[in-house]
Chain A
Amino acid sequence: MSLEIKNLHVNVDGHEILKGIDLVINPGEVHSIMGPNGSGKSTLAQVLARRDAYHVTEGSVAFNGKDLLEMKPEEAACEGVFLAFQYPVEIPGISNAYFLRSALNAQRKFRGEEEMDAMDFLPFFREKLKLLEMDEKLMNRSLNEGFSGGEKKRNEVLQMSILEPKLAVLDETDSGLDIDALRIVANGVNALRSPERSFLVVTHYQRLLNYIKPDFVHVLVDGRIMRSGGPELALELEDKGYGWIEQEAAAL
């Protein structure tokens, strides 16, 4: 359940976005990555989820002692990596419930566990729905179809609670959420905190961190982690903005 990123360099379309990231996340820890737009926060999240378009040019990532960079997206997922997307897609014709059960069973099969049939899935599912204050009727709709931004983000956390990952990466989950939705999403995430699970919360704003209190905060500017600290670092950023760190980064 530990994540070890060493000197990670990532290219997208020929541009270097991540310029040597070092980061260790131990089981049970909640880390937050903050930074101005274009700093590479989403890139880091997508690379961990193993998106093809992001080319690793140098460095390594070990997840539970295994080489994460060798894995395909579905393999990383089955090993326990979950990405809560910033912009979740819609897929017509497949109901949310059916999709979730399929994903769960795909992962169980990979791990050699018994698959869950519809009868067992339902109560498990309903319990999580309640936690995220989501209407069961929504679940019969096609995946994310017609969902508002807030509903989509809640659906991401719902999926997270069903798939029970070891490393949950939240990619700007707070963007586009009003205060109530934020509260619900944060509750969902907090309910999943456990000594066996780690979180990487990517966010632009400090506000989310009032609800999901991190153990560590890192500031990413121009592809480098410029500062690391405790939750008070987030408050410092809220107070001063990113300017002072951006200047430091520019001088490098």
Chain B
Amino acid sequence: MSSNTDTIRNLAQQDYKWGFVTEIEEERIPKGLNEDVIRLISAKKHEPEFMLEWRLKAYRHWASLERADAEPKWANIKYGPINYQDISYYSAPKQKKQLNSLDELDPEILRTYEKLGIPLAEQKMLAGVAVDAVFDSVSVATTFKGKLAEAGVIFCSFSEAVQKHPELVKKYLGSVVPVTDNFFAALNSAVFSDGSFVYVPKGVRCPLELSTYFRINAAETGQFERTLIIADEGAYVSYLEGCTAPIRDEHQLHAAVVELIALDNAQIKYSTVQNWYPGDKQGRGGIYNFVTKRGACRGVNSKISWTQVETGSAITWKYPSCILQGDNSVGEFYSVALTNNYQQADTGTKMIHLGKNTSSTVVSKGISAGHGQNTYRGQVKILKGAQGARNYTQCDSLLIGDKCGAHTFPYIEVKNSTARMEHEASTSKIGEDQLFYLQQRGLKTEDAVSMIVNGFCKQVFRELPMEFAVEAQKLLSVSLEGSVG
């Protein structure tokens, strides 16, 4: 962890001439989705045949669902119809709007960056300021890649993996989330732009925490990201996705797919901090974040942990899940989901126990404020052959104010009588007594609320890699501003 920060710090302190190169693609493909668009996407990326075939299969399946009006509508969220023909599925590498200085940036955004404690150099990079003393992300990435290469770890963009490691991609892509899995996964499989690819070889403990930050071109968030992470036997990797800085995107719909595979004695830790544009205080605009994330604990003694802090997006619809196939495998899900103003979230997890002596832990903390609607939806399924399975689920809701909602839909299916299940749930408000106590000691109302909320989320924050944990706490404070009058 600290090696990441040291690397950045060292490079940031040097003076770099920032040669910002913009690649301007002349072609723009029209909006709409059909087989030609798929072929065009694949051609532009110079993909091998197998990739195009895979995309087409996915597209055909999606189209059949679309024709049959089979877009899922069961979630506890409301949104207007999405016109899939009104989206451009291929855009040139985003040309960042260039500013001369941070002064040109929306002061509100600048204020948020300061509150989140984002270093000035990063602020400039996020804002697209072309200035001399901004560190060169290419150099940082190069140093980083060197260390990974030494260890034999492959970490590159998904597009690069399709070119350089097609055998790995062919072997594992779609093995956890097949193209037919669900409506949005099918769409993603047809039109995905890019994402991350990670392969950690046998017995290797990845020496650094992998962050999307270090992927070249990673500063842009793709509309349809596809990520594949494979930890071979005995391997360990910790992957960080996202950042606390609020990100805007003209594309409203984001439908990503993340597949994780852990073989014998391997471990994958996947942490997410998401703060995409949540819409304005009246609930207009904002990103729809419909994600399919699933981890397969294929091997014996394998382990996959999902940790997420979701504070952004107008709508969040995701269930990072674990399929516990290998004997003694372990699945974990730690989540903080915040809905403020008019945000909606229907999120949770699925833990599917197949192997023997498997165990899963679910800790979900939902915070609702403003007019936010927060739903936890979780499934714990113990199949017949899952001897000696154990699950612990705790879902807690915190309501701030009296106009928000917290909902819980736990599904528990047990088909093996040796299973041990524990389920706890609580709903609470921020007590007036608690607030007054903190105020009486000198804390302002906002700081008091922040403190109480952070205390509420402690169990989850503890699971985050340290840098993320610190950022996450600040993020929560910023997201809750104005929620307690």
User: Which residues of A are found within 8 Å of B160, using beta-carbon distances?
Assistant: none
Question: Can you add 4 more A-B contacts, CB < 8 Å, to A93-B456, A94-B452, A106-B442?
Answer: A72-B439, A74-B440, A82-B440, A110-B442
Name the 9 nearest CB pairs between A and B, nearest first: A93-B455, A93-B458, A103-B441, A73-B439, A107-B442, A77-B442, A94-B455, A106-B442, A74-B439
The stretch among B149-157, B250-258, B429-437 that forms the contact with chain A is B429-437
Nearest chain A CB to B88 CB, angstrom units = 45
Interface string of A143-167 (1 = CB under 8 A from B): 1000000000000000100010000
Is chain B's interface secondary structure helix, strand, loop, or mixed overall? helix
- Among B439, B442, B444, B452, contact of A91 (Cβ-Cβ < 8 Å): B452
Q: B396-433: which residues lie under 8 A (CB-CB) from chain A?
A: 431, 433
Nearest chain A CB to B122 CB, angstrom units = 25
Determine if A207 is an interface residue (Cβ-Cβ < 8 Å). no
Known: A89-B431, A89-B434, A99-B451. A83 touches B456 (CB 8 A): no
A159→B441 contact, CB < 8 A: yes
B456→A92 contact, CB < 8 A: yes
- Among A51, A103, A107, A163, contact of B436 (Cβ-Cβ < 8 Å): A51
The chain B residue with its CB closest to the CB of A72 is: B439
The chain B residue with its CB closest to the CB of A145 is: B455
A93, B439: Cα distance in complex, Å: 17
User: Which residues of A are found within 8 Å of B438, using beta-carbon distances?
Assistant: 91, 99, 103
Determine if A85 is an interface residue (Cβ-Cβ < 8 Å). yes
Determine if B379 is an interface residue (Cβ-Cβ < 8 Å). no
Residues in B lying within 8 Å of A, measured CB to CB: 431, 433-434, 436-445, 447, 451-452, 454-459
A85→B437 contact, CB < 8 A: yes
B445→A89 contact, CB < 8 A: no
A103→B442 contact, CB < 8 A: yes
A91→B455 contact, CB < 8 A: yes
User: Which residues of B are found within 8 Å of A99, using beta-carbon distances?
Assistant: 438, 441, 451
A107, B443: Cα distance in complex, Å: 8
Nearest chain B CB to A83 CB, angstrom units = 5
A73→B458 contact, CB < 8 A: no
B433→A74 contact, CB < 8 A: no
Known: A99-B451, A102-B451, A142-B455. A89 touches B442 (CB 8 A): no
Interface string of A202-223 (1 = CB under 8 A from B): 0000000000000000000000
Residue from A73, A89, A94, A110 having most chain B Cβ neighbours under 10 A? A73
B455→A92 contact, CB < 8 A: yes
- Among A52, A72, A91, A110, contact of B451 (Cβ-Cβ < 8 Å): A91
Nearest chain A CB to B377 CB, angstrom units = 24
Nearest chain A CB to B441 CB, angstrom units = 4
User: Which residues of A are found within 8 Å of B441, using beta-carbon distances?
Assistant: 77, 99, 103, 106, 159, 163
Known: A74-B442, A77-B442, A163-B441. A106 touches B454 (CB 8 A): no
A89→B444 contact, CB < 8 A: no
Determine if A38 is an interface residue (Cβ-Cβ < 8 Å). no
A91→B434 contact, CB < 8 A: yes
The chain A residue with its CB closest to the CB of B462 is: A93
A49, B434: Cα distance in complex, Å: 14
Nearest chain A CB to B198 CB, angstrom units = 33
User: Which residues of B are found within 8 Å of A142, using beta-carbon distances?
Assistant: 455
User: Which residues of A are found within 8 Å of B433, using beta-carbon distances?
Assistant: 89
A93, B451: Cα distance in complex, Å: 9
Known: A49-B440, A106-B447. A94 touches B431 (CB 8 A): no
Nearest chain B CB to A21 CB, angstrom units = 20
Residue from B438, B439, B440, B459 having most chain A Cβ neighbours under 10 A? B440
Interface string of A40-77 (1 = CB under 8 A from B): 00000000011110000000000000000000111011
Nearest chain A CB to B450 CB, angstrom units = 10
A110, B447: Cα distance in complex, Å: 14
A78, B439: Cα distance in complex, Å: 10
User: Which residues of B are found within 8 Å of A89, using beta-carbon distances?
Assistant: 431, 433-434, 437
Nearest chain B CB to A246 CB, angstrom units = 31
Q: A124-178: which residues lie under 8 A (CB-CB) from chain B?
A: 142-143, 159, 163
A115, B23: Cα distance in complex, Å: 49
A94, B454: Cα distance in complex, Å: 8
Nearest chain A CB to B428 CB, angstrom units = 10
B454→A93 contact, CB < 8 A: yes
A143, B458: Cα distance in complex, Å: 13
B439→A77 contact, CB < 8 A: yes
